[in-house]
Structure 1
């Protein structure tokens, strides 16, 4: 009522009043807010918004003066430990650019779209040359990336669950033809269209065996924006080294929500090119694309323009890459691919284990991954109040490092709770498959209403299952 304008317009000013009210309470720089108003509006609309902004500040000061609300004071050195305010999709984009990504093809889908948008914004500040293409659909996007990876480029795409479903055949081809590329899946609620603006960890089971046949996936699980940066950077090196697609399973909670985190450290290691025939050509004799001369299950790759041409195919092939239906050729090929897949454990991020020093009998174990990791500290503190001490294992990649998980679980007297954001307990199922002898220890704690997982409900479910 303190603003002189028509009633319908007054309703539109509520947001500005609320923002200025909160701005004063949190002791923010109001000049920045005023500058944003001038950037967005002009004329009479600007004056109305400025009046609303002043009104919000005035009301906040009044409430603070009357001791109805406490004003937040700034802490000295508050930003030194976590100076960045950033979301996971921005972190992913910076990671891709830092990794020297040369080709990024995508189709818009919530909640992954801002990865492409951030790449476009940040690319002018980076030194690498990069092609960013909005394709007509996900099939086209991933096919462009497969082609770019085959040609020797560092190539990536970003999508969410429905898009990943469409990409599965092309990714199976890339696995079988041994083409390196990166896919960032920012998960949302499914199945089908599901809830595009709600978070989930429901793509895990599908992602582990993404295509038909004996296709096997290597997956990384970032749990915050800093890890989105690190893992997007690392994924290109792993893809090139192993000559295979790498999946990154983020989610809406990490991808689109701004968090404070430490400054990103520029990687010290050189970019991994993997085995390339034009680099090793002096040593090559009787080169064959799918041979294993080093006995490490990884062949020597050639790219267009080198002296080692071959025919790429998704059909059965021999060491040369020629079409073959010979049972020996096919069984040897599948066996080598499987052994190469298992060898990834040497270079993928292992689980992070936090053990308790307390020898109390009331000790339980927690396992989580991805954005679920962010509530574990609070869950642990809440369990302490109930008289329980928690040990924690954070999974960072798939296939699972079973030796580390087994060592974590070796005390059979402890309850182990596997916490995740899907309805079917997909990580619990995966761990049970590889470590069935510990199945009786496991209790799944699932959260699947689309809202970010919270410590209160998780602690409550744990206590209910302990009684």
Structure 2
């Protein structure tokens, strides 16, 4: 283990480190090729911004860091930066995520590659700024108006904060889309060991360029019909971008047929390559008579509860989501089958909605939203009562 060299001129700090989830996410962004960060400080995401501010100016090449006047300016600056072919991101939490929703819709509709790390905290409003929650599951899908789909990764460890941020940049570049990494307050400050791979072991994807080779991502060639190459501002070929309905070249076209074709393609390009996104972790699942569905830091407590339950002879397993949107419907149905399900989450009931919808059955539910991860003892108690009803 070695101390993190904050002012290192190396972009990728290969080796083992002991740091927080926020720092790990910042290092993931740098490893993926981050060039521009535009943000506004807000608890508990601020240390991402602080770490990038320390590291980014010391890296080679054209880089930019700007503390904006608010979150609306932040997300629109990220969009503008990306249209100069700069890999760009921001990070926020709670109220800041709400303020960014119009810009997120613009980013989706204009097919702008960008990454947004959202560190969830208790809400609504100011709520519980320094306590964890999982109340933005629905907002990450339906927060802006209209029909759109944004890949949303949900890490459960400091290692995954790094890995999923790299994955987010590659997904954004390959599919020309905003991508969310949805962490929470616990992971933001939790410190544990994580490993940054060697440069050669980190796949780096760059968006398509007109009249050049097609993008290859995880061994698959990305369709230029679904994901058109991106003309960027300041380059030889003219670039067009608008929040109005438009054709493949970016020119305004308000006819119903063009609009429907555009919205259909934007959804299809995500779903077509969904199998390349992180899906799930299956823990003690093979012989499980009851399967718990959870994600994020909640899943850490669930694992401990499962171990305790198994010591007591109860066969329980975990289906842990790694990607929330698009929801891994086929993977979940295949894994769970007709077995009973218990959903455990830090919200009043946002995760249970897609689980019941896509499994097409009622499931048991432990919803705790008191500003803390439900402890293993509470989960074990719910496991016992659920299995009593089953028997």
Q: Please state which band the TM-score falls in when normalised by the shorter chain.
A: 0.7 to 0.9
Distance 1:124 1:454 in 2: 41
Q: How does 1:165-204 map to 2 (within 5 A)?
A: 165-204=98-137
Q: Name stretches of at least 5 consecutive residues in structure 2 with no aligned partner.
A: 1-14, 215-221
Match of 2:139 among 206, 217, 226: 206
Q: How does 1:17-96 map to 2 (within 5 A)?
A: 84-96=17-29
State the secondary structure of the residue aligned to 1:204: coil
**Separation in 1 of the partners of 2:173 and 2:243?**
19
1:409 aligns with 2:336: yes
Mapped to 2, the partners of 1:217 and 1:340 lie a distance apart of 11
Partner of 2:379: 458
What is the CA distance between 1:386 and its match in structure 2? 3.1
Superposed counterparts of 1:45-444, under 5 Å: 84-123=17-56, 126-127=59-60, 129-258=62-191, 260-266=192-198, 268-277=201-210, 279-280=212-213, 294=223, 296-356=225-285, 358=287, 363-397=289-323, 398-410=325-337, 412=338, 414-424=339-349, 426-436=350-360, 439-440=361-362, 442-444=363-365
1:97, 1:128 within 8 Å by CA — same for their partners in 2? no
SS in 2 for 1:263: strand
Are 1:88 and 1:228, in contact at CA under 8 Å, matched by a contact in 2? yes
For residues 404-436 of structure 1, what are the alpha-carbon distances to aligned partners after superposition, in whole Å with 9 as ceiling and x for unaligned? 1011121x2x32111111112x12211222332
Distance 2:60 2:367 in 1: 44
The alpha-carbon deviation at position 343 of structure 1 amounts to 1.9
Q: Aligned pair in 2 of structure 1 residues 327, 181: CA closer, same or farther (>3 Å)?
A: same
Assess, with a 3 A threshold, how the Cα gap between structure 1 residues 434 and 304 changes in structure 2: closer, same or farther.
Answer: same
Q: Distance in 2 between matches of 1:402 and 1:343?
A: 14
Structure 1 length normalisation: TM-score? 0.74
From the superposition, tell whether residues 129 and 223 of structure 1 become closer, same or farther in structure 2 (CA, over 3 Å).
farther
8 Å CA contact retained: 1:155, 1:182: yes
Count of residue correspondences = 365
Q: Which has the higher contact order (CA 8 A, sep 6+)?
A: 2
Q: Gapped runs of 5+ residues in structure 1?
A: 1-81, 282-292
What's the CA shift for 1:125? 6.2
CA distance in 2, matches of 1:295, 1:150: 18
CA distance in 2, matches of 1:346, 1:150: 27
Corresponding residue of 1:445: 366
Contact 1:278 1:302 in 2 (8 A): no
Cα RMSD, aligned residues only: 2.1
Q: Which has the higher helix share?
A: 1
Q: 1:108/1:295 Cα in 2 relative to 1: closer, same or farther (>3 Å)? A: closer
Deviating beyond 6 angstroms after TM superposition, the runs of 4 or more aligned structure 1 residues are: none
Distance 2:126 2:322 in 1: 27
Higher Rg of the two aligned structures? 1
Separation of aligned partners in 2, 1:389 and 1:423:
26
